[in-house]
Amino acid sequence: MSSAREKMDRLLLPVLGEAHLSRQSVSERGRITDARWYGSAMLLAAMLDQSKGELTDIEGLRLEQELERSGEFAAELIRARDVPASAAGSVELQALIEADGSNPATLLLNGRPSIRNALDTRVRDFFLLDGTQEAVLATGRIFGNARHVGTGVLVRLEKNGQSLEGVLTARHVAQAMSHRSGAMFADAAIDFLGEFGGSGQNAHTLTGILECSADEITDTSPIDTFDYALLKVGPPLSERPLPSPASIDIRPRPSAGGQIAIVGYPAKPEHVRSNLDPDSVWYRLFEGIWNVKRMMPARIFTPADRPEVSTLDARTFLHNATTTQGASGGPILTAAGGRVGAIHLGGKETDGNTGQWLSSIVSDL
């Protein structure tokens, strides 16, 4: 008996053409991946009734499932959210600014680049700096309300001559893991490991907010709104001790066009329905591996890159790292020693990614 795929191919042959249907890459994966298939999703659905008479119940169910997947991919294509880089060039995807792979999201293991990755020269250069590995080890993924909500880094800051040690992150991350009263959810915690290929955890509770920016962050907040929080670290949840705080850099800021690197835990974007489509720009950049520690090199935007750069408050800058929402609050390392010089806040589709300088945060404490 012919397979459901073979029967569907025969039914569609007059519509899409023999050369297209015989492509092994499509048949072997059993998944609709080509733009012509995306565009034909509605046509496929309309032909389902005529094909059911030739299919068994199980074959018909499989065909219906495949049509459903094709419809989802078609919707993503319409939104310009999940297309091959060759077709899209540089596309704006939430916090993804360059879709051509020029800004990789390098997996980290034991505080160093994982051998799984081809080592980007900018990542290599950052690991030659004194402060980089210390900052990587001091960075963790933050949990609250039974989910991964962002990234933070253990630092020691000064306020009025007194030392404050805590986890620095974005205020909107703290909002996602606390009640409106400011009290942390009971399961609020940070894990300083969470590396692909690693084992165990170095988790510690987060019990309160030591300092934070004044204004609540909402979907309508301007991109240069102050957005930081310093969280209090509580008892450990594992046998491992806290890492050493990352070294910070509040000296003169790097100039526009300068190189930086973000450390964080990119999570699967909400609009990405599949990890498995090899032609997806998200798959090529992240390989379907989410919520693990990565380094993402980037460049600070100049007014020539984005005219709105010249209108931002001096504490805020734009950059082009490959990140997603799970990296929010992660440290941004400067090329002057690999120390923490800023935090990553997020991205907007037409603006680029946003960071805020640590020097401004310290002044606001």
10-residue averages of pLDDT along the chain (365 residues) = 51 43 36 39 46 57 55 42 32 48 86 82 93 97 90 96 96 89 87 90 95 92 92 94 95 84 90 59 78 94 82 89 91 95 81 89 94
Q: Which residues of 83-111 are buried (b: 16+ CB within 10 A; e: fewer)?
A: bbbeebeebbbbbbbbbeeebbbbbbbeb
CA 360: distance to chain centroid?
Answer: 25
Q: CB neighbours (10 Å) of residue 255? A: 8
What pLDDT, on a 0 to 100 scale, did the predictor assign at position 311? 82
Edge-to-edge strand list for the sheet holding 294-299: 112-113, 106-109, 294-299, 259-264, 331-334, 340-348, 352-357, 316-319
Element spanning 105, H or E: none
Is 72 inside a domain boundary? yes
Spatial distance between the Cα atoms of 48 and 112, rounded to a whole number of angstroms: 51
The domain containing residue 68 runs over which residues? 4-78
Is 24 inside a domain boundary? yes
Is 16 inside a domain boundary? yes
Residues paired with residue 167 on neighbouring β-strands, in sequence order: 154, 231
Contact yes or no for 243/154 (Cβ under 8 A) = yes
What pLDDT, on a 0 to 100 scale, did the predictor assign at position 308? 78
What pLDDT, on a 0 to 100 scale, did the predictor assign at position 59? 58
CA 254: distance to chain centroid?
Answer: 24
Is 152 inside a domain boundary? no
Tally of domains in the chain: 1
What pLDDT, on a 0 to 100 scale, did the predictor assign at position 129? 95
Is 29 inside a domain boundary? yes
Is 240 inside a domain boundary? no
SS3 string, 224-287, reads: CCCCCEEEEEEEECCCCCCCCCCCECCCCCCCCCCEEEEEECCCCCCCCCCCCCCCCHHHHHHC
Q: CB neighbours (10 Å) of residue 31? A: 18
What pLDDT, on a 0 to 100 scale, did the predictor assign at position 251? 81
Cα 235 to Cα 58, 175, 356, distances in angstroms:
53, 21, 29
How many residues belong to the chain?
Answer: 365
Is 67 inside a domain boundary? yes
What pLDDT, on a 0 to 100 scale, did the predictor assign at position 303? 84
Is 17 inside a domain boundary? yes
